[in-house]
Structure 1
Amino acid sequence: MAKDRKPDPGRTGGGSSRAGSGARPATANRPAGGRGRTRPPTQVVTQQRPWGLIAAAVAVVVFAAAALTYAVLQVRQADEERIDAIDEIAGIESFDYAAGQDHVTTPVTYDQTPPVGGPHDYNWADCTGTVYDVDIRHENAVHSLEHGAVWIAYDPERVSGDDVTRLAELVDGVSGRMLSPYVGLDAAVSLQSWNHQLKVDSADDPRIEQFADFLTFNGEVEGHYPEIGASCENPAFAADPLVAGEESAPVGPTDAPTTPTMGAPETSTE
C-alpha cells in the first residue's frame, strides 16, 4: 500500500507561501518587492547656442567687407588721379628746348624763372632725391633737368616749416628729384623738368605730386629730356653745392670732354 507523499519543501505548490524560507519582510523604509538601489532620474541638459562664436564670425565678415570696400575705393581714387598724358595736368606749360644745348661756365640769362632748358654748366647738380637748403646754382640745375630730373623749387618767403617737410617727402631718396629754395620766385612752388613747368600757390596742391610722378625720368614724353639714361649722381655737389650767383667751378663728374691720351679717341664722363 502506497505511502502518502509529503510535499517537497523546495517546490512551490498551489498557493504555498515562501514567507518562512528566509525572505525579508517589507519594511517602512524599503518598498515591498523592490530590489537593489533606485536610479536617480536622468537630467535633461538644454544645449546652448554658441553666441560668442557667432558674434565673432559676424564681426570678421563685417571687417572683411569693410576692408574690401576700402580697397576698391582706394583703387578707384588712384585711377581717377593717375596721369596718362602731359595735358592732363592743369596749368602746365611746355617749351621747346632741343637737345645739344651748349655747356658753358659763364652765367646764363634764362627766359623762364626758374629755367627749364637751355645752355647749362658742365657739372650737374646731384638729383638722387636730394633736398637742398640753399638756392642752388641754376646753370647746374638745368643740367640735371637734361638728365631727366624733376626740380621742385619754392619761395622761402611763402613756404616754410611743415610745407617744406611735405615737399621734401616727395623728393627725399627718390632718384631723379631735387628740392631747393628759390629766392624771388613768383609763385609759392614751381616744378621744372626739361621743357615743362608748373607753378602753384600752395605746397599741398595735388598737382605737385602728379607732375613729379609723371615726369621723373619719363622718356616716353616726346621732347621731355634729351639724355635718357644719364646719371643723376654727383655726391660732391650734394655735399658742397654751388649757390645761385656763384661762378662756375668743377664739382664732381662732368660732360666736358676729357684730355685724351695721345692717339686715343676723345671720351666724355656721363
Structure 2
Amino acid sequence: MTQPHDPHHDPRQQGPQQPPPQQPHQGHGPPQAGPPPGYGPQPGYGPPQPPQPGYGPQPGHAGGPPGGYPPPPKKSSAGLVIGIVAGALVLVLLVAGGGLWFYVSSRGGSGGEVTTFENLSADHVEPGETVSYDMFPPAGGPHYPTWQNCGVYTEPLRAELAVHSLEHGAVWITYDPSMAPDDVAVLESLYTSGDYLVISPMEGLPAPVVASAWGSQLTLDDPADPALTDYLREYVQGPATPEPGAPCSGGISESEAEVGLLIEDGTIATTGA
C-alpha cells in the first residue's frame, strides 16, 4: 500500500523495512445505476419500444429543441433507507362496484405521493357528454374521440379531451389557479415544443400541483420538487400508455369554455384515434 509522501522522513535512519501486510480485498459490488435515461415518443401504436436517450418533437408538432429535465439531486443513504421502507408500505384497495384496483405508495427522498390505477376504460363518448371519473383530476377513463393538444394553457381545460392526451402518452400537470406567478413559471418551464406535456390550471385540486399520466397520479405541494421531474421521466410515454406515440397535436387547442361553444356548433370531431 502506497503511503502518503512525508518530506521530513529519511528512510536511511531506520532499519530494513518490512513489506506492509496484505489487506483483504473488499469488493463494492456492481456499480450503482445512473440517472434514468430520457424518453421519446414511440412510433405507431404498437407496444412501446425501449426508451432512448432524450426525445425530440412529436409528429405534427412544430419542431423545437429536444426537451429534457435536469437530473434529480443525489440522495443520502439515510434517505434511501427511508425510501425503501416507505415504498414497502403498499395499501391495496378495491372500489366497490367499480372494478377499479389501485394502490398508494410513498416515494422516498424529495417527497410526493403516487397513486396508481388499473383497469381503466378507454372508451369514446360523444362530445358534450360529461364523464364521471373515479379520481380527480382524471388519470384515465372514457374520453372524447379527439384530444387536447399538448402545450401550456392559462385557462382550465375540458377533462374529456385531456384524458385522451393521456391515452397517447402525455402527462397532464394541473395546478391551483391561485398559485404565485413565479411558481407557475416553474411548471411552464418544463415544457419544450414537441413534449408530451399538457399544463393548465384547475379548481379544487387535492394538492397545489397534481401530475396525471394514464393510470397514475402524483400530488405535490411544491412545483419545484424534484419528484415531479422524476415522475415525468417515468410516466411520459410510460409503460401503461395505451397508445404510445399517437399524436398530441392536430386536436383541440381551446380552453374548457371555448370547447363548450365548439360542441354547441358541432365543430368538434366525433371520431378520432
TM-score (norm. length: structure 1): 0.56
- Which residue identity is paired with 1:156? P
Indicate the residue corresponding to 2:157 in structure 1.
136
1:151 aligns with 2:169: no
Give the AA of the match of 1:241.
S
Match of 1:102 in 2: 124
| 2:193 aligned partner, one-letter code | G
Q: Match of 2:125, as an amino acid?
A: H
**What is aligned with 1:123?**
146
Contact 1:103 1:119 in 2 (8 A): yes
Does 1:161 find its partner at 2:197? no
Q: Whose strand proportion is higher, 1 or 2? A: 2
Query: What letter matches 1:227 in structure 2?
Result: E
C-alpha contact (below 8 Å) 1:189/1:199 kept by paired residues:
yes
Report the Cα offset of residue 180 of structure 1: 0.1
CA contact (8 A) 1:151 1:193 kept: yes
CA distance in 2, matches of 1:79, 1:98: 34
Structure 1: distance between partners of 2:233 and 2:257 = 27
Instruction: Measure, in 1, the Cα distance between the counterparts of 2:124 and 2:262.
Output: 14
Q: Give, in whole Å, the separation in 1 of the partners of 2:221 and 2:207.
A: 6
C-alpha displacement of 1:97 = 3.5
State yes or no: 1:193 paired with 2:216.
no
- DSSP-derived class of the 2:229 partner: helix
Q: Are residues 1:213 and 2:229 paired?
A: no
Alignment of 1:58-137 (within 5 A): 80=74, 89=107, 91-98=113-120, 100-105=122-127, 106-127=129-150, 130-137=151-158
8 Å CA contact 1:97, 1:117 repeated in 2: no
Pair 140,207 (structure 1): closer, same or farther in 2 beyond 3 Å: same
- Root mean square deviation, CA, Å: 3.0
State the identity as a percent: 31
Higher helix share: 1
Q: Cα deviation per residue 1:24-50 (whole Å; 9 max; x = unaligned)?
A: xxxxxxxxxxxxxxxxxxxxxxxxxxx
TM-score w.r.t. structure 2 length?
0.55
Q: Is the 8 A contact 1:121 1:143 kept in 2?
A: yes
Unmatched tracts of structure 2, length 5 or more: 1-33, 36-70, 76-86, 88-104
Distance 1:100 1:138, change over 3 A: closer
- Distance change >3 Å, CA 251–CA 153, structure 1 → 2: farther
2:247 matches 1:231: yes
Alpha-carbon offset, residue 212 of structure 1: 1.4
CA deviations 1:203-251 (Å, max 9, x no partner) are: 1111111111221112xx2xx111122111136x22x333399377366
Separation (CA, whole Å) in 1 of partners of 2:198 and 2:209: 13
Distance 1:209 1:79 in 2: 11
What SS is found at the alignment partner of 2:237? coil
Summarize the Cα distance change of 1:255–1:144 in structure 2 as closer, same or farther, 3 Å threshold: farther
2:119 is paired with a residue of what secondary structure? Answer: coil
2:255 matched residue in structure 1: 241
Greater Rg over alpha carbons, structure: 1
Q: Which residue identity is paired with 1:190? A: V
> Which of these residues, 195, 198, 223, is aligned with residue 178 of structure 1?
198
Q: Is the 8 A contact 2:122 2:141 kept in 1?
A: no
SS in 1 for 2:189: helix
Q: Is the 8 A contact 2:171 2:213 kept in 1?
A: yes
Per the alignment, do residues 245 and 113 of structure 1 end up closer, same or farther by CA in structure 2, a change over 3 Å counting? Answer: farther
Q: Whole-Å Cα distance in 2 between the matches of residues 162 and 114 of structure 1?
A: 23
Instruction: Report which structure shows greater RCO (CA 8 Å, sep ≥6).
Output: 2
| Unpaired stretches in structure 1, ≥5 consecutive residues | 1-74, 257-268
